[in-house]
Amino acid sequence: MITKSHGAKSGGNIVKPVNESKEKAVGHVSLEQLEYKGMLYDFYGELLTPHQKDIYEDAVFNDLSLGEIAGEQGISRQGVHDLIKRCDRILNDYENKLHLVEKFARIKHNIQQINELTEDEQIKQLSNEIIEEL
């Protein structure tokens, strides 16, 4: 399970396998899609309202079903579904305008390439430190 202290920027995500017997709030998403949602949330999640953040975190990171979230929040399953889709759209809109996740991924990739190409241990250590700080 990815917890509320998850993060693509802060460390490795641990992804809980999809439980086929529960109605999933986010449907069937690949590991790559889940990682991307996590990155979008890391960069832009603070721009969501507290209510949106609570529901989005429960659905995407805490692996709760629509029914579980609806019961907790006192709203319909359809309301939960609509809010999750709205949050996805909002987060993607921010990325389409600001490109922070894209820039982050490009910088991280370039630093990893430097690390792979160099023989100098000081450069490798520095590049690893930079990646950790990202």
Query: Do 101 and 43 touch, CB atoms closer than 8 A?
Result: yes
Residues 64-85 have pLDDT tens digits of: 999 999 999 999 999 999 999 9
CA dist 56 and 131 (Å) reads: 27
pLDDT at res. 71: 96
pLDDT digits (tens, 9 = 90+) for 19-74: 333 445 556 678 899 999 999 999 999 999 999 999 999 999 999 999 999 999 99
Fold of 1-98: Arc Repressor Mutant, subunit A (1.10.10)
**Nearest-angstrom CA–CA distance, 20 and 48:** 29
Q: Quick check: pTM over 0.85?
A: no
Per-range mean pLDDT, top range of 86-95, 107-116, 121-130: 86-95
Q: What pLDDT, on a 0 to 100 scale, did the predictor assign at position 42?
A: 96
Residue 106 class from Cβ within 10 Å (0-12 exposed, 13-18 middle, 19+ buried)? exposed
Domain borders along the chain are: 1-98, 99-134
Cβ atoms 46, 87 nearer than 8 A: no
